[in-house]
Amino acid sequence: MEKIVSLCKRRGFIFQSSEIYGGLNGLWDYGPLGVELKRNVKNHWWRVMVHERDDVVGMDGSILMNRAVWKASGHEETFSDPMVDCRTCKARLRADQLTDKKGALQCPNCGSKDLTEARPFNLMFKTYVGATEDESSITYLRPETAQSIFVQFKNILEVSRKKLPFGIAQIGKAFRNEINPRNFTFRSREFEQMELEYFCRPEQGMELLEYWKDERLKFYENIGILRDKLHVRTVPDDERAFYSKGTYDIEYDFPFGRQELEGVAYRTDYDLSQHQKASGKSLEYFDEETKQRFIPHVVEPSAGVDRTVLALICEAYSEDQAADEKGKMETRLVLRFHPRVAPVKCGVFPLLKNNPQLVAKAKEIVDLLRPHMTVFYDESGAIGRRYRRQDEIGTPFGITVDFETLGEKDPSLRDTVTLRERDSMKQERVKISDLIHLLSVRIA
Ligand code: GAP
């Protein structure tokens, strides 16, 4: 993990938030490459969950909502983790993170057994809306995006004219005042979620739970996570929310252990029923065929953007051996991102930076490709070094403009370039006019 964290900072994927002031625990900033990677994950999720489906529409809700939402959803009352204080080192700990030594619980920091009883700690960040800071102006930063979907259910049903089963998808920020943020971005205090609330008839719930679990596994495979590293955990009855009839956790083998990437939960009609009761507004669905009114049930695949990004970086990180300029073997650091999510799709290099014709041709290629993909132009240093720099940030393709491109040796090679593939390091000679098609197919 240390190597990954250091690479993330060195190459501009992820920095500590407010770093020049000593940071703020559990908060992170994404740099130039991190933001591209994150955007590619979100775009792919939106593409397969919304654009490629007839039965899902999107929304983008506000982060602050009426406090009544959090009362009705149960978050104000129960969205808490059990917290324990260590009386010796004064650490505040999540009760489930204590060390168990032969049945005796210990502080994981100092080993002390002098611990307080566990008490609930509400994870929502409280804030005030408007100029007065009193009980009447309290609300919270949302701890999940799901609730705005539930409270807009009726509006969206009306405008979209969808019939059950159908879903509402949302990507957005969520905030939790985690007691112990840890494992880099894995448990943060501010993060992004990609959530789908898929509304259905009660009798469809269990079947759709299986369906969405399978769809979500496919999603991770399609962005380059090996199926062997993904695991489905059936959440046991005593860990499941009381209203859920079934929940799966999709887990990934991170370097720090097997941990949750996403929850897929059958939440029954709990959320809509709660909001109907509390708001006094009907959130029922009218079935035109049976002429019945009822509150739909919901299956929710809820994924974390930041956890997915972290899993992709962990999955991509690799070191292998490759020959340097002089043929000497050296360790090559490569991020083997799936081309679909790679922050930069293609590096473009003139063989020599002091040859105006090579430089002009390379820049022409950059202009040609830029409307279709993210491209990085690099003319400094030996070509091998330039390849290595791109390998390290996971750029899947490299294009080199050389004297053959100018047709100097063999006129039949005029306007061709070498196209290098990151993982195999194989090079092929291709026509410039074929580049857009060749690359677009591979990064789609
Ligand atoms: N609406 C359901 C819900 O929020 P959750 O299991 O609490 O369920 C869903 O959260 C996903 O959000 C998790 O699987 C994880 O990917 C992400 N997530 C939750 N807490 C997080 C945190 N503190 N830091 C980063 N990601 C988090």
Question: pLDDT tens for residues 96-116?
Answer: 889 988 888 999 999 999 999
pLDDT at 325 over 80: no
Q: For residue 324, name the pLDDT band (cuts at 50, 70, 90).
A: confident
For atom 19 of ligand 1, which residue has the closest CA? 304
Atom of ligand 1 nearest to the CA of 146: 1
pLDDT at 349 over 80: yes
| Residue 75, ligand 1, Cβ within 6 A | no
Q: For residue 392, name the pLDDT band (cuts at 50, 70, 90).
A: very high
| Residue 247, ligand 1, Cβ within 6 A | no
| Residue 170, ligand 1, Cβ within 6 A | no
- Which pLDDT belongs to residue 185? 96
- Which pLDDT belongs to residue 322? 85
pLDDT at 168 over 80: yes
- What are the tens digits of pLDDT across the range 352-380? 999 999 999 999 999 999 999 999 999 99
Task: Match 């979620």 to its residue by tokens.
Answer: 193
Phi, psi at 273, each rounded to 5°: -65, -45
| Residue 73, ligand 1, Cβ within 6 A | no
Q: What is the pTM assigned to this prediction? A: 0.94
CB atoms within 10 A of CB 264: 28
Alpha-carbon distances of 356 from 310, 361, 401, rounded to whole Å: 41, 9, 12
For atom 18 of ligand 1, which residue has the closest CA? 304
Q: How far is the CA of 194 from the centre of ligand 1 (A)?
A: 9
For atom 21 of ligand 1, which residue has the closest CA? 187
Q: For residue 157, name the pLDDT band (cuts at 50, 70, 90).
A: very high
pLDDT at 148 over 90: yes
| Residue 122, ligand 1, Cβ within 6 A | no
Strand-pair category, 346-350 with 317-323 = unpaired
CB atoms within 10 A of CB 105: 15
pLDDT at 156 over 90: yes
Cβ neighbourhood burial of 153 (10 Å; 0-12, 13-18, 19+): buried
Q: Give the residue among 31, 137, 141, 123 at the shortest CA–CA distance from 83.
A: 123
Residue spans of beta strands (DSSP E) within 228-312 = 230-234, 246-254, 257-268, 285-287, 292-294, 297-304
| Residue 215, ligand 1, Cβ within 6 A | no
Asked if residues 286 and 265 have their Cβ atoms less than 8 Å apart, the reply is: no
Q: Give the residue among 272, 266, 56, 294 at the shortest CA–CA distance from 151.
A: 272
- What are the tens digits of pLDDT across the range 288-319? 999 999 999 999 999 999 999 999 999 999 99
Q: Give the residue among 20, 283, 17 at the shortest CA–CA distance from 152.
A: 283
- Which pLDDT belongs to residue 402? 94
- Which pLDDT belongs to residue 134? 92
17, 69, 144, 148: residue to mutate for ligand 1 pocket, most atoms within 8 A of CB: 144
| Residue 420, ligand 1, Cβ within 6 A | no
Q: How far apart are CA 376 and CA 398, in angstroms?
A: 9
Mean pLDDT for all residues in the chain: 95
Among 97-111, 126-140, 186-200, the range scoring the smallest mean pLDDT is: 97-111
% of the chain surpassing 70 pLDDT = 100
| Residue 179, ligand 1, Cβ within 6 A | no
Strand-pair category, 166-175 with 56-58 = parallel
- The stretch 248-277 carries a mean pLDDT of 97
| Residue 251, ligand 1, Cβ within 6 A | no
